[in-house]
């Protein structure tokens, strides 16, 4: 059975990915800061799928010594890791220069430096195994610069995506390119604990189940990249990338 490691698995997209991948036959390596939530998720998954194996570890991805230790511990426990999903993150943000540099710095440390630690740890395992699938969860906000509270978040999500793209670029044309796959996901509005305060007022919001179903389908196909759900986000990505700034400003 394939073994998938998911960071930030205690709630939201990470928890729903665990449920859906377990239903598809995956064993799970789940980590997050909130281990009580992980325990509840494990009980839920095993009740629905008694044949699955679910291992848990506490992990704060901003503890940059702990990240490789936990990833290696999972690899040793299972004997291998088929996939690592870099999912843990924050949705905090403030307009630059408005006195909340602490909020933007916290998001940067978690969503980019934390992602860097996760990609480093995953690729160390995949290089040793000469096989694996790296999945980085970016965001549709990475398609274009965004204003106000989204400025830092969007910039960081570009950086997270480029970590994965850089790995793919490096591997292209090498023997490892056949056995180490890289996927970048660009989720649009998908309901989760991170955005529950604005979910009811945000247009185009997909349910957690529907949005994650699109994410899992892209993961299983090992596509290079995907806007998820594909509709409306794949065509909207073109609008976001190419619309004049005045038009974009009215849209966001």
For tokens 């993150």, name the residue.
89
The catalytic position among 153, 162, 186, 189 is 153
Q: b/e string for 225-242 if b means 16 or more Cβ within 10 A? A: bbbbbeeebeebbeebee
**Structure tokens that stand for 222 in this block:** 């090992």
Element holding 86 (H helix, E strand): strand 83-86
Identify the DSSP state of 62.
T
Measured N-to-C along each axis, helices 66-78 and 114-129 cross at an angle, to the nearest 10 degrees, of: 30
**Which CA distances in Å does 26 have to 50, 56, 107?**
12, 14, 30
Is 186 marked active-site? no
Cβ 191 vs Cβ 205: under 8 Å:
yes
Return phi, psi of residue 166, to 5°: -65, -40
Which token pair is 193? 């604990």
DSSP-assigned letter for residue 109 = I
Do the Cβ atoms of 49 and 22 come closer than 8 Å? yes
- Indicate the SS3 state at residue 50: coil
Q: What are phi and psi of 31, to 5 degrees?
A: -140, 150
Residues with a catalytic annotation lie at 153
């Amino acid at each position: 059975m394939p073994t998938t490691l998911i960071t930030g698995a205690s709630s939201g997209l990470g928890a729903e990915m665990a449920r859906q991948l377990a239903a598809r036959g995956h064993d799970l390596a789940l980590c997050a800061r909130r281990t009580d939530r992980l325990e509840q998720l494990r009980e839920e998954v095993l009740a629905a799928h008694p044949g699955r194996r679910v291992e848990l570890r506490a992990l704060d991805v901003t503890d940059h010594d702990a990240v490789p230790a936990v990833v290696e511990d999972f690899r040793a426990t299972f004997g291998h890791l088929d996939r690592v999903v870099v999912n843990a993150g924050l949705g905090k943000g403030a307009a630059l220069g408005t006195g909340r540099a602490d909020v933007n710095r916290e998001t940067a440390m978690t969503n980019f430096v934390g992602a860097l630690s996760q990609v480093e740890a995953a690729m160390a395992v995949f290089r040793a195994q000469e096989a694996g699938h790296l999945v980085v969860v970016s965001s549709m906000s990475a398609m274009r610069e965004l204003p106000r509270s989204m400025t830092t978040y969007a910039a960081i999500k570009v950086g997270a995506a480029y970590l994965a793209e850089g790995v793919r670029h490096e591997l292209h044309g090498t023997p490892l390119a056949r056995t180490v796959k890289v996927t970048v996901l660009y989720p649009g509005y998908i309901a989760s604990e991170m955005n529950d305060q604005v979910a009811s007022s945000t247009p185009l919001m997909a349910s957690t189940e529907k949005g994650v179903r699109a994410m899992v389908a892209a993961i299983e196909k090992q596509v290079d990249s995907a806007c998820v759900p594909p509709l409306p986000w794949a065509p909207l990505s073109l609008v976001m990338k190419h619309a004049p700034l005045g038009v974009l400003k009215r849209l966001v």
